[in-house]
Chains A and B, each alone.
Chain A
Amino acid sequence: MDTIVFAYRPPASDTEIPDGPLSGMRVLLQPDLFVKNWPADAGSKALAGFSAVFDATVIARLRAAGAVPAGFAPMAEFGFGINGSHLGRILAADEFLHAGLMTDMLGEARMAASLAGLWGFKPSWGRVSRYGLTGLVPSMECTGVLAKKLSDIPKILTRISGADANDPSMRTDPPLDVSGLLDATAPAGASLRIGIPEALATGNAAREAEMSIAREALSKAGFTLKNVTIGDLSLFAAAHQVAAAVEASSSAGKYDGVRYGFRAETSGNWNDMYLETRGQSFGPLIKALLMQGAWFQFQDYPGFEAACTLRQHLVNQTNALFNHVDLIALPTREADADPLTANMPADTYDAFSLTLAANLTGLPVLQVPGTSADGPNAADTAGANQAPGFQLMGPAMGDIAVLRAGLALSSHLQGVIS
């Protein structure tokens, strides 16, 4: 096993355990979420030396509930993809940690959970405040929760969700009410209809094996399985990539090295300083993404508009599926695309092709850990041999329904912790 290396650990004085409903829960974070006075570089050289002047809303709410920010795990630059991210692995390996928060733009939180054999949940877009999140793709990103025990996820969500005046982009709903969910006598929701997109569940040995485990567990839990057609996933990827690139280009515009972060030495004028600074600030994946975004902004605006139209179409089409089923079960990752080494937009999108639909549509989705004879956390730390598990996606703002189904399902899965 690798040595566990945090990107930042707070001094001992910061880890006193306050009272509250989450008292003593230790939560691992990434440096794209502001924790007052902690470094806030979001994994990018562009923000080297920048530190947070306030607690992100989710951090303030976690602290108020008694949870303890345990430290930062190394992260992919601006949280796009998981090349360089260690949060899932550290969380799985460190017995003192209970949960982790990880920004999910393409499926990062679910993918990290899948690779580490953990539960992962991406709430509906607009459920959780982004105030204090450095962010990159505003319309897709959402703070995801990873946990060893599924029941910790609703406990955390009920604390961090709900309207925040500092983030007017989010919905104005109150915090998620999970009171009926964790009650031992809560109904299992046996009448649920689960849609399985046939085309995604077949045609590939690894996927077929994983989805057959999913079917078995879903059936045992008493759910009704139905075939659905989710459409061409490459369209989801295309719409996601164009919109995400454009948004990323705008979001990263402020990283110019003038006021904070890294600034390159140059003898030229301010234009040269910008070019040098930005050229040296970003890694190859982000640089390629920003170039793509700038291309659509400056050279092919109609292409961007077409992607927005396509996105709306895909949102409508996906929402319509929930007229026939309550939830949709999806595989999580492809065996032949490795998200840990993807370092260009094309291979990153390949690696997240099964998860990004929930980001494009803003839907809530649960990553159910893969089961193996040895239990979920027994795979090697790189996750290569860890069974991928599968996703349960719900309708817009149907976060509770997704979690309830997950809890009902968990007792029928080997080696997972409810």
Chain B
Amino acid sequence: MNSVSTTYEAVIGLEIHVQLNTATKLFCDCPNQPGDAPNRNTCPICLWLPGVFPRLSRVAVEKAVLACLSVNCTIAEESAFDQKVYYYPDLPKGYQLSQHHKPLAVNGWIDIPEENAKNGALRRLRIHHIHLEEDVARLVHETEGGKPVSLVDFNRAGAPLIEVVTEPDMRNPYEAMEFLKILRTHLRYTGSTECSMEKGTMRADANISIRKPGSGEMNTKVEVKNMNSIRHVGDAIGYEIQRQAESLNRGEPIVLHTRLWDPDKQVTTAMREKFAGPCVPDPSVPAIQMDQQWLEAIQQNLPEMPPHKASRFVETFGLTAADAQLISQERDTAEFFEAAVSQNLPPAKVSNWIISHLLPGLRDHQLSLSDTPLTPARFSGLLSLLATEKINAAAAREILLQMLTKDAEPEILMKTAGLEQVSDDDALGDLVDKIIADHPSDAADFKNGNPKVVGFLMGLAMKASKGKANPKRMKEILTEKLNALQQTSE
């Protein structure tokens, strides 16, 4: 790999399809739910029957515009649909409505952290344009009575997509993966899309060519498809750079074609070329005229984007840059953090509990915040119980995990599970007396000047309290009693 990166430099551009999470399809009122029972969400428009016309969804346009704004694009005053002509059974209309000549938005960018940068240096990656298009139908290949058949499911036909087309600004797999991660964060922030490569609501294709470092040449590129995670994108690009370098070293020229990533074998293989057709302006869908008033109304729905949020969290709440970045990764987390902080809790404490306990808990249970009954008020209620020593940290962690699935206030959960902290001196004293009585030799060790015994006895005492004891008070009482023991024997 080292020899490759010094001999050649890679030039990488990405084309990313993102499904918008509108309630309906792009050109009709059918539910935008591709996963439903096959062909349930269909009508004459999305079945592409004769005699009907596409009716462009205003909501889809607005969600798409919001997504474009989140990555710093300029919205075109006029954009229009073209017919991308090709014949394939997943497109029985013979053309796909897409925007080729007049895309919705142009000239965007996002900043990624430079690879191995210690000083927070950023690298700007440009977006050439973003356009709207309809998804095609889904083919299902099956066997009926030993005979292969191909079935067409139109639930996905006409689902709204945006396609993000980058400039060829990326130079290595890291930059491509980082671009996708940050793009995903930004697009999710707008609430316009789920952006899951695993679920297919985000699909990335990579165009890759290589050249002598610094030569500025644009050589023949190869397109790689079929990566269904960001990690696969990185792996596929890495493999493809190596493959092209070896090819050139053998004196074989690079030929323009498309390859498929095989995640099992970790290789790309050439695929049969689909016949690429032309793009003809569609005569029936009216052009989108984005006047200033409409644009401003959409802009008002644009949330604060993660880079701004992170720096504000540093300035306003004194978080570390690393914590601020983690907290602002997802919009729901960031908003949850701010809501919890507003309940008069120390910001560092809130962020620490979110990063160390809440986020890992969600990951373990494969949940997102919105899946849980947990509210910022309940979360801060829990942290208040901890701050006022009604519970200890171990109990707080347990209650937090319960709150991910149980729709109840933290006090209720605390009482139900009997996790209330015991700070009552009499109760703790009795416990300590029993532990000392049961372990006379350890107490004798203490007397002989071995302070480590305190830790051991403390562990036993906490265990005996079933974790509910106030550890601070317990330790004080234990130490007191051991010291008293020493003095009486002297």
Contacts and interface: CB of A to CB of B under 8 A. Distances in A.
Interface string A266-290: 0000100010000000000000000
B50 A254 contact: yes
B51 A40 contact: yes
B98 to A, nearest CB: 13
B431 to A, nearest CB: 77
Contacts of A274: 87
24 contacts: A40-B50, A54-B44, A131-B52, A131-B53, A132-B52, A139-B283, A165-B55, A166-B55, A168-B55, A168-B284, A247-B283, A249-B85, A250-B94, A250-B95, A253-B85, A253-B87, A253-B95, A254-B49, A254-B50, A256-B87, A258-B89, A258-B92, A274-B87, A297-B280
Interface string A229-266: 00000000000000000110110111010111000000
Nearest to B56: A168
A47 B51 CA distance: 12
Contact of B92 (A34, A139, A254): A254
Interface of A: 34, 40, 42, 47, 50, 52-54, 56, 130-135, 138-139, 165-169, 246-247, 249-250, 252-254, 256, 258-260, 270, 274, 297-298, 301, 304, 308
B283 A34 contact: no
Interface in B268-315: 277-278, 280-281, 283-286
B45 to A, nearest CB: 9
Contact of B50 (A134, A139, A301): A134
A131 B284 CA distance: 11
Given A169-B286, A250-B85, A254-B92, A135 B51 contact: yes
B174 interface: no
Contacts of B48: 254
A270 B92 contact: no
B26 to A, nearest CB: 13
Contacts of B286: 168-169
Contacts, number: 83
Contacts of A256: 87, 92, 94
B280 A246 contact: yes
Contact residues on B (Cβ < 8 Å of other chain), bracket: 20 to 34
A270 B284 CA distance: 29
Contact of A138 (B44, B47, B284): B284
Contact of A135 (B47, B50, B152, B277): B50
Given A53-B44, A250-B280, 17 more contacts: A40-B50, A47-B50, A50-B50, A133-B51, A138-B283, A165-B55, A167-B53, A168-B54, A169-B286, A249-B85, A253-B94, A253-B95, A256-B87, A259-B47, A260-B49, A274-B87, A298-B85
A259 B92 contact: yes
Nearest to B284: A169
Contacts of B283: 138-139, 169, 247
